[in-house]
Amino acid sequence: MEEHKLIFALSSYHNLVNNGRMPKIAGIVLGHLGLWGVGIASDEGTIKMKKIAKGGKRTLQVIMHDLKDRVADKGVVVISHCENELFAHNLKEAVISQYPDYQVKIMPTRGLCSYYAEKGGIIVGF
């Protein structure tokens, strides 16, 4: 697991607010402005927010930049989406254009991942 990396993008902050990880007013404002929260699983095993991105295009750029910075040598990327197949396919195309030899798999989130990602969320493992 030490060699695996994770980045996620959330378009909804409902669960973060309900779990006390974000002030309610911040969650409301970010959600209404269409801002995505992009975070990573750190090497220490914690979750860190990396950036706040406006819209899908900018979110995709942030994810691709992180992938370039922390790329694993395994050549496999798994994109898990919560009812956001279009974004997942756009991200897959971006990864393949940058890393043509990589295997990229898209799958829907399930169970607890669906709960935390919420509708529109993306989780990327590499």
Decide: 79 and 124 in contact? Cβ < 8 Å. yes
Nearest to 79 by CA among 93, 68, 65: 93
Question: pLDDT averaged over the chain?
Answer: 89
Decide: 59 and 91 in contact? Cβ < 8 Å. no
Q: Report the pLDDT value the prediction gives residue 1, as an integer from 0 to 100.
A: 55
pLDDT tens sequence across 69-104: 887 566 899 999 999 999 999 999 999 999 999 999
Is the model's pLDDT at 120 over the cut of 90?
yes
**Residue ranges covered by each domain of the chain:** 6-125
Q: The pTM is what?
A: 0.87
Q: Which CATH architecture best describes the domain 6-125?
A: 2-Layer Sandwich (3.30)
Query: What is the layout of strands, in order, in the sheet containing 76-81?
Result: 47-54, 35-41, 6-10, 122-125, 76-81, 103-108
